[in-house]
Amino acid sequence: MISPFEDVIIQTVCRILIPFIQLYGLYVIAHGHSSPGGGFQGGVILGASFILLCLSYDLQEIKKRLSQRANVIFLSVGVIIYAGIGIVCLLLGGNYLDYSWLRQILPVDPVEARSIGIFGIEVGVGVTVMAVMISIFLDLASEEEQKGS
């Protein structure tokens, strides 16, 4: 559906712009617990950078950079990070996602442990949202090639 076309202005601008968009997405994720933003917004920005790559080149470009299998693995790893941190807190004696109990395995005080815990959660949410956005876009945009499988 998205036919490949050669436009040197669009491709050059997007190639220069995409690393900065991804850097901004990582900034939003990393500062999510102390400023506006967070895992969801940063993940959407990261996913939008891959969608921009797909729009400015073609569908094969994004499959070269990030294969469908790697995308599914990212999707699952984010959920595992989220649930894993919660279950680690559960195993250490606290409630689910009660980050202050992470102080037993980390050499920090409870306040610092809470900050590290919520950062891990943001990373998990961001990875999952990025993979889901790319997956929805690829499912919508790709043609009948996936209809048989």
Partner 1 sequence: MVWQLNLILLLFVLICAIASITVKDLLSSAIIFGVYSFFMCLLWAEMGSVDVAFTEASVGAGVSTIFFIVAILKTTRRSKD
Site mask, partner 1, residues 18-37, x = CB under 8 A? Answer: ----------x-------xx
Instruction: Compute the least distance from the CB of residue 47 to partner 1, in Å.
Output: 7
C-alpha closest to that of 43 among 59, 28, 64, 61: 28
Q: How many CA atoms lie within 13 A of 111 on its CB side?
A: 0
Give yes or no for a contact between 47 and 134, defined as CB atoms under 8 angstroms apart. Answer: yes
* Piece of the chain touching partner 1 by CB under 8 A; list 68-76, 85-93, 103-111, 132-140: 132-140
Q: Which residues of 133-145 are buried (b: 16+ CB within 10 A; e: fewer)?
A: bbbebbeeebeee
Minimum Å gap between C-beta 95 and partner 1 is 25
Figure out which of the listed residues 23, 70, 91, 136 binds partner 1, where binding follows CB under 8 A. Answer: 136
| Residues binding partner 1 (CB under 8 A) | 1, 28, 36-38, 40-41, 44-45, 47-48, 51, 55, 133, 136-137, 140-141
